[in-house]
């Protein structure tokens, strides 16, 4: 993979439970982003965390970043069936070109 690993590749939980997805990357970064993709659709931006930030919140989402380990995690609290989707992390590889390098994604299924 260009990016590294995301784990787990697939996750199945019950509604109301928390879901945690992890992402590792290979190069230094300016920022790391998380996107969601519903089946057969384009990606939707969820949250961006800069390299000098360690944690960021947005609604039910919490993202952490550990640049020393080149890893990030996305936590979705109190999951809903509508959260069922694939989740991708993406980094800019410390370039200012705007280009992103995407991970392989985690497929999340939330059962009602």
For other proteins, the binding residues (CB under 8 A) are 1-3, 30-31, 33, 35, 40-45, 48, 86, 88, 92, 97-105, 107
Q: What are phi and psi of 83, to 5 degrees?
A: -80, -10
Minimum separation from the CB atom of position 34 to other proteins (A): 11
Q: Which is nearer to other proteins, 44 or 82 (CB)?
A: 44
Q: Which is nearer to other proteins, 18 or 45 (CB)?
A: 45
CB atoms within 10 A of CB 66: 11
Contact 6, 89 (CB under 8 A): yes
């Amino acid at each position: 993979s260009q990016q590294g690993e995301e784990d787990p590749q697939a996750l199945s939980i019950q509604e109301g439970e928390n879901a945690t997805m992890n992402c590792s990357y290979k190069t230094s970064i300016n920022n790391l982003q998380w996107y969601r993709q519903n089946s057969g659709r384009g990606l939707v931006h969820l949250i961006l965390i800069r390299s000098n930030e360690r944690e960021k919140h947005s609604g039910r989402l919490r993202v952490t970043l550990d640049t020393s380990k080149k890893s990030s995690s996305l936590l979705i609290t109190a999951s809903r069936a509508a959260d069922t989707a694939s989740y991708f992390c993406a980094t800019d590889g410390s370039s200012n070109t705007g280009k992103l390098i995407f991970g392989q994604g985690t497929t999340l299924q939330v059962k009602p």
